[in-house]
């Protein structure tokens, strides 16, 4: 069973997160930030992951610590659930439309953390969410999941659509990359023999 549970308690956030990579897209998300709840709910649905997240964070300051720390926990959850990564497809990519926007996303579950993120000239906020926190979330995620992630906006104008398209694209590519290739289910997908 490719499942994980993560607890993170700091002076800024208290987080409980559970993940099932082989789920059906069910989620129970309560981060204290409505926009982040929306992104994680659709992330679970489009990746077909079962995901539960609760966070009690210092949202009276802003959403920075909540968003970054949930990214960290989600990355740890993926790393834990994947184990030695035997049999995974490893790679995923998509060109995903979200109304007027079009997002390119590619991932390599490589054991090496890297983020290339280009969302163009987006507005600084969506509702009360600072859009610069998207990069903080993704950095926390890739560093702890130890994967390479590229997200590039090809075109688009609505900031909500651009970010939502990015999260949906990430979910879809991860859903593919973590899936088991039955033909090679006992092999580590690397010439090094380890990821």
What are the tens digits of pLDDT across the range 112-167? 999 999 999 999 999 999 999 999 999 999 999 999 999 999 999 999 999 999 99
The string of pLDDT tens digits covering residues 18-66 is 999 999 999 999 999 999 999 999 999 999 999 999 999 999 999 999 9
Res. 92: pLDDT tops 90 = yes
Res. 185: pLDDT tops 90 = no
Q: How confident is the model at residue 9 (pLDDT cuts 50, 70, 90)?
A: very high
Helix (H) or strand (E) holding 82: helix 64-82
Q: How confident is the model at residue 183 (pLDDT cuts 50, 70, 90)?
A: confident
* C-alpha triplet 62, 64, 68: angle, nearest 5°: 155
- Confidence (pLDDT) at 188: 77
The string of pLDDT tens digits covering residues 66-87 is 999 999 999 999 999 999 998 9
- Confidence (pLDDT) at 186: 79
Spatial CB neighbours of 160, under 8 Å, sequence gap ≥ 6: 126
- Confidence (pLDDT) at 139: 98
Res. 91: pLDDT tops 90 = yes
Q: What is the DSSP string of 126-174?
A: ETTEETTHHHHHHHHHHHHHT-EEEEEEEE---HHHHHHHHHHHHHHHH
Residue 118 DSSP class: E
* CATH number belonging to the domain at 3-184, selected among 3.40.640.10, 3.30.1340.30, 3.30.465.10, 3.30.230.40: 3.30.230.40
What pTM was computed for the model? Answer: 0.96
Indicate the pairing of strand 50-57 with strand 27-30.
parallel
Q: How confident is the model at residue 1 (pLDDT cuts 50, 70, 90)?
A: confident
Whole-Å CA distances, 165 to 6, 73, 111:
26, 22, 25
């Amino acid at each position: 069973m490719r499942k994980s549970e993560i607890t993170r308690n700091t002076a800024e956030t208290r987080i409980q997160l559970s993940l099932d990579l082989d789920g059906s897209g069910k989620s129970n998300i309560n981060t204290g930030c409505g926009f982040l709840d929306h992104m994680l709910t659709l992330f679970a649905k489009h990746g077909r992951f079962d995901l539960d997240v609760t966070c009690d964070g210092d949202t009276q300051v802003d959403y920075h610590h909540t968003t970054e720390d949930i990214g960290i926990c989600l990355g740890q959850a993926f790393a834990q659930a994947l184990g030695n990564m035997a049999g995974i497809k490893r790679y995923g990519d998509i060109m995903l439309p979200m109304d007027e926007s079009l997002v390119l996303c590619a991932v390599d579950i490589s054991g090496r953390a890297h983020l290339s993120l280009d969302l163009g000239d987006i507005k600084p906020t969506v509702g009360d969410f600072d859009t610069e926190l998207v990069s903080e979330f993704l950095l926390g995620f890739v560093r702890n999941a130890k994967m390479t992630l590229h997200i590039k906006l090809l075109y688009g104008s609505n900031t909500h659509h651009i970010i939502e398209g990015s999260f949906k694209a990430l979910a879809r590519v991860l859903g593919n990359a973590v899936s088991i290739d039955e033909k090679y289910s006992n092999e580590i997908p690397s010439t090094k023999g380890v990821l």
